[in-house]
Homo-oligomer: A and B are copies of this chain.
Amino acid sequence: MKLTFLTALLLASATSAAAQPQSAAVRVDPQVVALRDAALNDDYAWDITEGLTTEVGQRLAGTEAEARARAWAVVKLRSLGFSNVRIETFDMPIWTRGPESAEIVGPFPQKLAIAALGNSASTGPQGITGEVVGFDTLADLEGAPDSAVRGKIVFVSHAMPRTMDGSGYGFFGGPRRQGPTIASRKGAIAIVIRSIGTDYHRNPHTGVMTFAEGVRPIPAGALPLPDAEQLQRILKRGKPVTMRLTLLSETGRGQSGNVIAEVPGRDSSLPPILVGGHLDSWDQATGAIDDASGVALAAAAAKRIMDAGRPLRTIRVVWFGAEEPGLFGGLDYQKRHGSELHYAMAESDFGAARIWRVNSKLGKDREAEAKALQAALAPLGIVPGALDKAEGSDIGPMLEAGAPGVGLSQDGTYYFDLHHTPDDTLDKIDREALRQNVAAWTTMIAVLSGGIEPQPKRRRRR
């Protein structure tokens, strides 16, 4: 059944790709086709995802857990046969979560679920108590007079929709990213937001925020959707609502690092292809989709190329450290390697659902290569996307600075059900979708690799 369905999908996709005049003339290299189709049976990505989430678990940036993840990564990547496996460490500020709770004191006493946002101020063990003032949007908070907010606990709701491409996360992430700064400037004693998420479980969505320069940090937390809507219902009753918040946290300095491994190219003078994801996770789950599966599928694809022979260009696998608290790994890599040329960069950090679109930004003179990439991916059910766009979290600053990139977009329809919640665990990974991801990444690397030559067979010693 599975194979029949896949065959039908491949045929349908191929037909649709052939119908597009611009792709019709592109013939996909049989070596790429063979690598792509073989990767649909990949087990490397699952093994890495399962191993990292099981044997390391949660791995908050800058903590000893993330250090264990780096040690695990080095052993794993070496055992897979990668070359030049190394760690590039860097120092960073760290924020760690303590016990946290929220309750309505009146008029209807009850507990709510809550999680502090990264960089939230600590309430101290005595907690804080205040009247809640609710706003339906960030704009409503911005437009409110300071007098309506001063001395109160701000609550911001919003209406983030479910989208396939995750485009709601930018605009509707505002309450998390800018909300705390705006609330503090207006004199709020704390802020709670409706989680930047789409699910109705009692799992708050954490995530980082940074107070603007000079703004006094205040406690900031996220309520799960059921709790946020409960608070809205309570506020609608029209009586003054008092909330008690205890959000404990600590700050300090720590060390993180990027784990780097390579498949050496035949011509070491050529710029490498960078593929990666981030090794750190938030602290409340094992980070299966964010981003164990990302580091796993990027490495699995590179491993498949390595198994097939030797690419012309070096493939550099980077498992970035400390993405979640602010792209520290990406910025460290940029500081060290940003002036080196890269042939292309790609990062997987949007879950492990099926890839549905390929964007790229390889430059005007490499349009044929970009179209060859589109043609090679189309049979996997991947829509040819923009030629002047690529995305990635850690690689974002380098892409912005002009590095060539490829973006293989996962279907994000259900991504924000799990993102930054305790629910981001291994059971959420769809193994077939993960294999389609590996097939797409293997295809992408194969197309860009400059050709893979079989390893010469070693002579037997007599």
Contact A233 B54 (CB under 8 A): yes
Which residues on the B side are within 8 Å of A99 (C-beta)?
Answer: 99
Pick the most buried of A104, A110, A230: most chain B CB atoms within 10 A of its CB. Answer: A110
Which residues on the B side are within 8 Å of A365 (C-beta)?
Answer: none
Q: Give the complex CA separation of A109 and B200 in angstroms.
A: 30
A35 proximal to B (CB < 8 A): no
Given A54-B233, A286-B230: A428 and B109 interface contact (C-beta under 8 Å): no
Which residues on the B side are within 8 Å of A109 (C-beta)?
Answer: 57, 65, 68
Output the nearest chain B residue to A425 by Cβ-Cβ distance. B226
A55 proximal to B (CB < 8 A): yes
Instruction: Map CB proximity to B onto A52-89 as digits: 1 under 8 Å, 0 otherwise.
Output: 01111110000001001000000000000000000000
Q: Which among B58, B111, B233, B428 is the interface contact of A110 at CB below 8 angstroms? A: B58
Q: Which among B57, B201, B229, B284 is the interface contact of A203 at CB below 8 angstroms? A: B201
Pick the most buried of A113, A233, A284, A425: most chain B CB atoms within 10 A of its CB. Answer: A425
Instruction: Map CB proximity to B onto A210-238 as digits: 1 under 8 Å, 0 otherwise.
Output: 00000000000000011101100110010
> Nearest Cβ distance between residue A299 and chain B, in whole angstroms?
20
A285 proximal to B (CB < 8 A): yes
Q: Which of A110-129 contact B (CB under 8 A)?
A: 110-111, 113
Contact B54 A285 (CB under 8 A): no
Which residues on the B side are within 8 Å of A229 (C-beta)?
Answer: 426-427
Contact A108 B202 (CB under 8 A): no
Q: Give the complex CA separation of A187 and B59 in angstroms.
A: 35
**How many copies of the chain does the oligomer comprise?**
2
Which residues on the B side are within 8 Å of A203 (C-beta)?
Answer: 201-203
Q: How large is the interface on A (under 10, 10 to 19, 20 to 34, 35 or more residues)?
A: 35 or more
Contact A233 B202 (CB under 8 A): no
> Nearest Cβ distance between residue A52 and chain B, in whole angstroms?
11
Output the nearest chain B residue to A283 by Cβ-Cβ distance. B111
A173 proximal to B (CB < 8 A): no
Q: Which of A160-212 contact B (CB under 8 A)?
A: 200-203
A130 proximal to B (CB < 8 A): no
Q: Which among B50, B110, B427 is the interface contact of A57 at CB below 8 angstroms? A: B110
Which residues on the B side are within 8 Å of A225 (C-beta)?
Answer: 427
A423 proximal to B (CB < 8 A): yes
Q: Give the complex CA separation of A225 and B422 in angstroms.
A: 13
Q: Give the complex CA separation of A80 and B77 in angstroms.
A: 69
Q: Which among B54, B111, B423 is the interface contact of A108 at CB below 8 angstroms? A: B54
Which residues on the B side are within 8 Å of A55 (C-beta)?
Answer: 108, 237
Q: Which among B56, B200, B237, B425 is the interface contact of A202 at CB below 8 angstroms? A: B425
Q: Which of A415-431 contact B (CB under 8 A)?
A: 421-423, 425-428
**Top-3 shortest CB links A-B:** A57-B110, A202-B422, A226-B425
Q: A54-B237, A200-B428, A230-B286 are in contact. List 20 more A-B contacts (CB 8 A).
A: A50-B233, A54-B108, A54-B230, A55-B108, A56-B108, A56-B110, A57-B108, A57-B109, A57-B110, A57-B111, A65-B110, A68-B109, A110-B286, A200-B423, A200-B427, A202-B285, A202-B421, A226-B426, A229-B427, A233-B426
Q: List 29 A-B contacts (CB under 8 A).
A: A54-B233, A54-B237, A55-B237, A56-B108, A56-B110, A57-B110, A58-B110, A58-B111, A65-B109, A65-B110, A68-B109, A113-B422, A200-B425, A200-B427, A201-B201, A201-B423, A202-B203, A202-B285, A202-B421, A202-B422, A202-B423, A202-B425, A226-B425, A226-B426, A227-B425, A229-B427, A230-B286, A230-B425, A230-B426
